[in-house]
Amino acid sequence: MRTLLSQFCDSFDEVIRPLLSPLHESAEALLKAGPDLPGMAVRADLLDLQHQFEALVKKISEQQAYVLLFGPLKSGKSTLMNCIARSYVSEVSSLPAYPCMVFVSHGETRCFDVTRYSGRSERFTDPTALHLFINRAHSELADRIRIAEENGDTFDPALHYSEAIRRIDVRLPAEELAESGAVLVDTPGLYARMRFGYSQMTRDFRDAASCAIFVVKSDNLFLEQVFEEFEELLDLFSRIFLVVNLDSAKRDLAPDGRLIPSLEQEDPLRIIEAFENLAMSAPLKRAADEGRLRIYPIDLLRAASARLANDDEPEAIQGQIDFEAFQRDLTDYLNSTEYLVAFLGDSLRRAQALLDEAAQLLKHPEVGELEVSVAQLDEERQGITHQRQAVQRLDAQDWKVVFGELSQRLAPNIREQARMASAETERNLDAILARWFATPASFQALIEDDLVPALDRYQAELAGHVRTILGEEVASGTAGVLLTTDIAKDLYTAGIDVNAIGREVIALLTDTSTRRPIDLPLTTSQIPVKRGFFDWILLRPMERVRRNLFGQPSSPVLRIPVDVKQKRLGPDARAALVRQIDVFKSRFFHETLHHLQEQIVGAYTNAAIEALHDALARRDGELEVKGNELVRRLLERRRVLAHLSTLGERAEGAMAKIEELSLEYGATEPDLLIVPMELPGSKMPVIPQAGPLGGAILDPATSPWVVPEGRVEAPTDVEENIAAGDSD
């Protein structure tokens, strides 16, 4: 049957439910991102908002009547739950020791859903397994709290231990709950060690529940600290039921030593009167006078026993309010138009409060940092792209052409050094030849021991000059090559130090790769020799004469005395040797010059080009890895911002629609909320003034989503939302 109330719930659900997806996706995107991501500080708040929006949606969609039970530990809350549900719910009797809220509602089968602050949930069907799980979780939580205390921190589960349990949903067959649609919420006990659970309850249910039950044992009724938290809760609920848990079996000691019935058994109303007259604070007295606070002295243990045993006529106890009367008052309130008005008003106020929180959350400084980091990362990514493009252009460059002019540029200096070195070598060769004629050394010794080493020294000296000239050119900058403006720019962009490459390469060049073996083509057959006396007598041929003087042509190792050299090898022989050496050295000097220049400069060029390509390949790999990491981080941040932007847009639209719902239903006569809407299109009568929900109408001056004069403007993205207001 459709009523204005069900129509409101449907409209409300359509407004709020679309917020759940971006809340969840934003928190998930932050969870999957790296720890360096700005905005991680808001993840706990996003999860908290998601949780509260989910609770609000469930409350409205199922038209749930939340009944909160709170009070000190072991005050009888679980026993009261047994009474109200008329079902054994002892499975939850130890759960409030863990600082989380326990929601008990009707379900076809018994199950337990455990939800953590991280949003992760688990289901249990076995109460024993649940208790074992809770005990372990409680021990882990205590350890985390101790660590936070040692660090001087105020423990916050969302920040310090997101795997802490936030709520437990208990579903069990309970016809009493099914008929009323009530959800019993057992809250954490009011004690300091794990106070955050209680604080979470007051935060979660501010403007969310209209009815609460405070349970206190009669022994604690006059303890001021018991009601310290209670007075704070008076502002949260439209109606509070104070249940004083009596022990009707309690006995007192008489003066004569007899055990007599206690005052709780004989006249519990006197205890209540004394509390009201002597111990009740001004806020409690005011709430009682206004009818928002009602007191019920009940022996909960006896009441629970009777209800679970289906005893419809339990024994009346003098001075006690029977549990049935308390339940009738509770049921009448939940079925009253007063509750319906509170239900609508609380829902609208809660929606506005949560949307305000979302608006403030999107203005968090770390969200702004996230946007700044996206711009910075995108700029870095573009820089990486430009660097890789420069690397690729450099790698495709024909470096042989670039280095090709180096040899030509060095040639004049090399030739000058070669000229001076060859002149010195020629003088050395002349001196060597003169010394040979003055010593008994063999012809082969002349070649191997004197001439070839002198020529090799020339080769080594010239190679040293070439390396020196090349090294000086390389040390002057840009590896000794003349770079075009484009190449120089690309090298700078790519971060390649070509000069360092040049220095490293030239330091690795060695002499062994440039020295050539010297084959001096001097032969005895070209040397004129004077015949001796016996040569003439025996008519020896010239070849035999030379062999007897020098030795075999292939191995002229015979020593020749100085006087023999003077007699048999005259000026003609000296001139012949000079001619052979001159012919060889002119060719040798020229070839050595070109060989050394080609080998040394060429070896440097080839090695430098190879090293340059290697450096480019390494740099490209480094840039690719860095670029991929930048893209990953950029996508993470953009993904989070996209979800936050969606959240901002939907929250803005939701705030405008909540304002419309407040205006539409705020002026509705309460009794009309549950009247069947039988005629499609018929108008329900309304009253022109604000009506009973007037307090729920949104104030444009305080709403961050409402533009003055009723004009709603939607920012196109989350950046505009953040730019529109100051950060906290």
User: What confidence tens digit (pLDDT) does each residue in 421-448 have?
Assistant: 999 999 999 999 999 999 999 999 999 9
The answer to whether residue 360 scores a pLDDT higher than 80 is: yes
Mean pLDDT of 564-581: 89
Specify the higher pLDDT residue, 316 or 646: 646
Q: What are phi and psi of 402, to 5 degrees?
A: -65, -45
Residue 36 lies in a domain: no
Q: Domain check: are 319 and 177 in the same one?
A: yes
The SS3 assignment for 194 reads: coil
pLDDT at 708: 35
Predicted confidence (pLDDT) per residue in 272-298, tens digit = 888 888 888 888 888 888 888 888 988
For residue 435 the two structure tokens come to 């010394």
Q: Is residue 249 assigned to a domain?
A: yes
pLDDT score recorded for residue 254: 67
Lowest mean pLDDT among 80-94, 156-170, 657-671: 80-94
pLDDT score of 699 more than 50: no
Please check whether residue 5 lies inside any domain of the structure.
no
Sequence-ordered strand ranges (E) for 468-521: none
pLDDT at residue number 727: 38
Q: How far is CA 649 from the centre of its chain?
A: 25
In which domain, by residue range, is 97 found?
Answer: 44-109+173-363
Domain ends where: 597, 618, 636? 636
pLDDT at 317 over 70: no
Average pLDDT over residues 561-571: 88
Average model confidence (pLDDT) across the chain: 81
Q: Is 39 within the bounds of a domain?
A: no
Cα gap 105→73, rounded to integer Å: 22
pTM of the model: 0.64
Residues 412 and 350 placed together within one structural domain of the fold: no
355 and 497 inside one domain: no
444 and 323 together in one domain? no
**What's the pLDDT at 704?**
37
404 located within any domain: yes
For the ranges 105-114, 174-183, 557-566, 683-692, the lowest mean pLDDT is seen at: 683-692
250 phi, psi to nearest 5 deg: -70, 145
- The CATH number that applies at residue 259 is 3.40.50.300
Q: What pLDDT score was predicted for residue 202? A: 56
Q: Does the structure show a pLDDT above 70 at 488?
A: yes
Please tell me whether residues 102 and 74 are part of one structural domain. Answer: yes
Same domain, 394 and 281: no
Dihedrals φ, ψ of 498, to 5°? -65, -30
Task: Give the C-alpha separation, 417 to 461, whole Å.
Answer: 9
How many angstroms from the chain centroid is the CA of residue 563?
97
Residue 409 above 60 pLDDT? yes
- Say whether both 503 and 629 belong to one domain: yes
- Domain assignment present for 433: yes
**Residue-level pLDDT at 326:** 87
User: What total of structural domains would you count in the chain?
Assistant: 2
Predicted pLDDT of residue 106: 86
* Domain end call among 636, 668, 689: 636
> Which residues neighbour 339 within 8 Å (Cβ) at sequence distance 6 or greater?
65, 210, 211, 238, 239, 333
| DSSP sequence for 351-393 | HHHHHHHHHHHTT-HHHHHHHHHHHHHHHHHHHHHHHHHHHHH
Residue with tokens 């390509």: 613
- Domain end, chosen from 605, 636, 667, is at 636
Phi/psi for 182 (5° steps) reads -80, 145
Q: Which of 231-245, 456-470, 653-667 has the highest mean pLDDT?
A: 456-470
Judged by phi (left if over 0) then psi (alpha if -120 to 50, else beta), residue 560 lies in beta
In eight-state DSSP terms, residue 601 is I
Assess whether pLDDT exceeds 80 at residue 97.
no
Assess whether 350 and 425 both reside in one domain.
no
Question: Is residue 443 in some structural domain?
Answer: yes
Based on the fold, state whether residues 359 and 423 are members of the same structural domain: no
In the three-class reduction of DSSP (H, G, I as helix; E, B as strand; rest coil), residue 126 is classed as coil
The answer to whether residue 615 sits within a structural domain is yes
Average pLDDT of the segment spanning 102-116: 88
Is 473 a residue whose pLDDT tops 60? yes
Q: Ramachandran region of residue 71, left (φ > 0), alpha (ψ -120 to 50) or beta?
A: left
Contact 573, 529 (CB under 8 A): yes
Residue 411 has pLDDT above 60, yes or no: yes
- Shared domain for 251 and 393, answered yes or no, is no
Q: What is the pLDDT of residues 583-624, one digit of tens each?
A: 898 899 999 999 998 888 988 999 999 999 999 999 999 999
Does residue 660 have a pLDDT over 70? yes
Domain match, 450 and 316 both: no
Q: Is the pLDDT of residue 77 over 70?
A: yes
* pLDDT at residue 3, rounded to an integer: 76
Tokens standing for residue 372: 């700044």
Q: Are residues 469 and 320 in the same domain?
A: no
Please name the residues in contact with 412: beta carbons below 8 A apart, sequence gap of 6 or more. Answer: none
